[in-house]
Structure 1
Amino acid sequence: MTSKLDFAAGDFVVYPAHGVGRVAGIETHTIAGQEVTLYAITFEKERMTLKVPVGKARNSGLRRLSSRDRIKEALETLTGKSKIRRTMWSRRAQEYEAKINSGDPVSIAEVVRDLYRGTEQSDQSYSERQIYQAALERLARELAAVERIDELRATERLEAVLTKAAA
């Protein structure tokens, strides 16, 4: 049974739980007597290779990079007013993690916006900073891949948008 391939070697893809990766190749393995075709996806930053069965790629949330319009929407989200709910931090932290792991750039941008602290604002707790950094990194990687710039420039661009919005 061969399913149509959605991605080719060299394509940038987004896996919700890990962010932007690149399809290193398409492999066929025999597992428990069944032939299985897998996407081998590398995540440079984590030095990790993930193998996703072609037939389960869509259900796993594997997708192409966002369109420029979707990235623009994410950048616009950063300029909005932060919406911090008055619930316990542990509950909010779970919601933020879920948004980051959704792989949706607009949801990730909401986390970045809500946890952003300008230089004059109060300090963040360690866990707030960790979640903020994870969201910022995830968004910067996708922005970098879509805009074909390096991750550092993408991060600087996101932070410039945040700083300007906070002013």
Structure 2
Amino acid sequence: MKQKEDELQFKIGEHVVYPLQGVGVVMDIRTRQIRDRETLNYVIYLDISDMTVTIPVDKACVIGIRGIVGADEAKKAIDSIKDKYEPSTLDWKQRYLANVELVKEGSIGNVAKVVQALFHRSRVKELPVQERKLYENAMRLLIDEASFALDKTTAQIKKMVDENLEK
């Protein structure tokens, strides 16, 4: 059974967000034979990790692949970082798992929450290695998507984020 091309959510050349991986560009849409079934697949190049992934069109939504947010949503996420921070009462392992889930969900707002939480946590006590890596990854994801959404360089977005974290 062959999938129809009218099921496509993204076009070749369109930038998309792959949760936990960052912004990528749809390089191609290919038909692939797997067993007795033909599937339509997005071929997405992820610049930040210099990796190409192939995702079945019918699984893209389930995986969480989505378009880049609009400028208003990106600005709102960056601005939310300066909101009052409420420390978590969870132990580090539970906190880590909760933050991983927020990043996996893929919304820029949730990624900004993780950046805010881990930044403030690092001010109180040095982060465990896993949390530090999660913080760095969440920061990269936030900056990467916001730079596309706001049409600014990653350095400009990093400066905005850092300024908001310090407030």
Q: What is the TM-score normalised by the length of structure 2?
A: 0.88
Q: CA deviation at 1:33?
A: 2.4
Alignment partner of 1:96 is 2:105: no
Query: Where does residue 150 of structure 1 map in the other structure?
Result: 153
Q: Distance in 2 between matches of 1:154 and 1:77?
A: 14
Aligned-partner SS, 1:98: helix
Do 1:117 and 1:124's aligned partners in 2 also have CA atoms closer than 8 Å?
no
Q: Distance in 1 between matches of 2:10 and 2:99?
A: 29
Give the root-mean-square deviation of aligned CA atoms. Answer: 1.9
Give unpaired runs (5+ residues) of structure 1: none
Alignment partner of 1:53 is 2:56: yes
Aligned-partner SS, 1:86: coil
Number of aligned residue pairs? 163
Q: CA deviation at 1:91?
A: 0.3
Q: Distance in 1 between matches of 2:121 and 2:156?
A: 19
Equivalent of 1:36, from 35, 39, 48?
39
Q: Distance in 1 between matches of 2:120 and 2:96?
A: 16
Q: Distance in 1 between matches of 2:25 and 2:82?
A: 30
Aligned-partner SS, 1:35: strand
Match runs of 1:2-151 below 5 Å: 2-4=4-6, 5-117=8-120, 121-125=123-127, 126-151=129-154
Q: Distance in 2 between matches of 1:8 and 1:34?
A: 23
Q: What is the TM-score normalised by the length of structure 1?
A: 0.88
Q: CA deviation at 1:62?
A: 1.3
